[in-house]
């Protein structure tokens, strides 16, 4: 479940079933917020996108990147210390 703020400042509650699809929606929404033209023009209209995430993040982020046309090589896993 995610709470999303729209461009007009309204909030939308998005209910999803499962963590993987929620992660993909989050990537989709972040991409649309930064590059709304992707909706009509596709990935060719946006610069190469890179997702930085913890090395401990769930592998579904890579699956989401694959499904969204971002590519699994564009998901950069950041090393973390014990904290
Ligand atoms: C952070 C995180 N993301 C995604 C998932 C995948 O969830 P699901 O199997 O419900 O798609 C999990 C599952 O444990 C998770 O912990």
| pLDDT at residue 80 is higher than 80 | yes
Ligand 1 pocket test target in 60, 65, 75 with most atoms within 8 Å of CB: 60
d(CA 15, CA 2): 7
Atom of ligand 1 nearest to the CA of 21: 11
**pLDDT single digits (tens) 21-77:** 999 999 999 999 999 999 999 999 999 999 999 999 999 999 999 999 999 999 999
> What pLDDT is attached to residue 16?
84
d(CA 69, CA 57): 19
- Is there a contact between 80 and 55 (Cβ–Cβ < 8 Å)? yes
d(CA 78, CA 54): 5
């Amino acid at each position: 479940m995610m709470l999303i703020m729209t461009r007009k400042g309204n909030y939308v509650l998005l209910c999803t079933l499962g963590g993987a699809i929620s992660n993909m929606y989050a990537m989709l929404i972040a991409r649309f917020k930064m590059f709304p033209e992707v909706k009509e023009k596709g990935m060719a209209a946006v610069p190469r996108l890179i997702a930085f995430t913890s090395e401990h993040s769930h592998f579904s982020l890579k699956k989401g990147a694959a499904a969204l046309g971002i590519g699994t090589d564009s998901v950069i896993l950041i090393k973390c210390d014990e904290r």
